[in-house]
Amino acid sequence: MVTKKIHLKNNEEILNILGTSDSNLRALERAYRVSIFVRHDEANESATLTIKGKNSSVDKASREISSMLEAYYFLSKEKENKTEVLLQEDSLSPEAIYKTYSGREITPKTENQKKYVDLISNNDIVFSTGPAGTGKTYIAVSMALRALQRKEIKKIVLARPIVEAGESLGFLPGDIDEKVNPYLRPVNDALFSLLGPERFRAYKDEDIIEIAPLAYMRGRTLESAFIILDEAQNATCQQMKMFLTRMGMFSKTVVTGDITQIDLPSHKQSGLLQAIKVLKNIHEIKFVKFEKNDIVRHPLVSRIVEAYEEWESKK
């Protein structure tokens, strides 16, 4: 005869494991030919199960109880997640796509932004181009978080090409994270503002959200993921092809960029420009082009963009 003890931490565990009038325990005793005794700790609202019987029988009974506990917590978590999603979805206004941790709704403000949201919702690969401030990245990240919230994906991957200006990364101080962090800061900031500090850190720690240089995507297949390539105008042709072929089953890809802000050396062609030409006839791949009137930052941003365009046209 051997003895094994299992601790039940709260009243919910006790109720689900013991059953009505200890009916679950009696069924376990009959099934595995063991004796199960319960000692309640009223002060801590907990209980200890003592299982007695032959070694193999006790092991089987304890494994069954552990499985019951796992199933209980899995179902509870699923119910909690679905309730949270339903509550958040119900509380959104009709055109909002996501609600930030602070309660602010993210809503497309221009016709092109509405088109962008619709294209992302209904297609697996979407390219968006246009000037800064048009919401290309922010809306894509919001849509990714919505997909994560709805359990449509399991992971968000955000990539950016790193174009070295002056100094090689190898000569910059710090480890690899410290070297590339300045390049990835804009997508970090977008996620931080949408999720808040606690959830942002938790998602990164749990690898639910991954932010990485584009070069780190090589050799991977990303399934059940929402993949965003930001600042894609600075990806080389080889990098763009590599990135677009990382997408696995049940995934979405959004590519954003501003073709007027290419920082690549003059002898290298932008992978974004090439991709637009190469893929334009594939019906399942969609493209949206933002204009100056889609800029939703400070009103002066539009005027700055216009001033630079006028200056460059004179040159």
In a domain, 166, yes or no: yes
* Number of domains within the chain: 2
In a domain, 284, yes or no: yes
Note whether 19 and 141 are same-domain residues.
no
CATH number for the domain that contains residue 135: 3.40.50.300
In a domain, 97, yes or no: no
Q: Which long-range contacts (CB under 8 A, 24 or more apart) does 298-301 make?
A: 301/132, 301/133
Note whether 43 and 187 are same-domain residues.
no
Which of 66, 90, 114 is where one domain is finished?
90
Note whether 141 and 165 are same-domain residues.
yes
pLDDT of residue 272: 97
In a domain, 34, yes or no: yes
pLDDT of residue 71: 67
In a domain, 305, yes or no: yes
Note whether 24 and 74 are same-domain residues.
yes
In a domain, 100, yes or no: no
Q: Is the dihedral of CA 28, 34, 35, 36 positive or negative?
A: negative
Distance of CA 280 to the CA centre of its chain: 28
CATH number for the domain that contains residue 68: 3.30.1370.10
pLDDT of residue 308: 85
Q: Is the dihedral of CA 86, 87, 88, 89 positive or negative?
A: positive
The domain of 44 spans: 2-90
pLDDT of residue 171: 46
Note whether 31 and 140 are same-domain residues.
no
Q: What gap in Å lies between CA 267 and CA 138, rounded to an integer?
A: 31
> Model's pTM, two decimal places?
0.66
Note whether 84 and 147 are same-domain residues.
no
Task: Count how many residues are written for the chain.
Answer: 315
Note whether 129 and 186 are same-domain residues.
yes
pLDDT of residue 74: 56
Note whether 42 and 110 are same-domain residues.
no
Note whether 235 and 309 are same-domain residues.
yes
Note whether 71 and 119 are same-domain residues.
no
In a domain, 156, yes or no: yes
Task: Evaluate whether 101 touches 196 at the Cβ level (below 8 Å).
Answer: yes
**Residue keyed to tokens 């032959």:** 54
Which of 90, 117, 145 is where one domain is finished?
90
Q: Which residue positions in the chain have pLDDT lower than 70?
A: 71-91, 164-183, 298, 315
Reduce the secondary structure of the chain to three states and give it as a string: CEEEEEEECCHHHHHHHHCHHHHHHHHHHHHHCCEEEEEEECCCCEEEEEEEECHHHHHHHHHHHHHHHHHHHHHHHHHHHHHHHHHHHHCCCCCCCEECCCCCEECCCCHHHHHHHHHHHHCCEEEEECCCCCCHHHHHHHHHHHHHHCCCCCEEEEEECCCCCCCCHHHCCCCHHHHHHHHHHHHHHHHHHHHCHHHHHHHHHCCCEEEEEHHHHCCCCECCEEEEECCHHHCEHHHHHHHHCCECCCCEEEEEECCCCCCCCCCCCEHHHHHHHHHCCCCCEEEEECCHHHCCCCHHHHHHHHHHHHHHHHC
Note whether 137 and 63 are same-domain residues.
no
Task: State the first-to-last Cα distance of the chain, in angstroms, to the nearest integer.
Answer: 93
Which of 25, 55, 90 is where one domain is finished?
90
In a domain, 98, yes or no: no
pLDDT of residue 167: 38
Note whether 109 and 69 are same-domain residues.
no
pLDDT of residue 165: 43
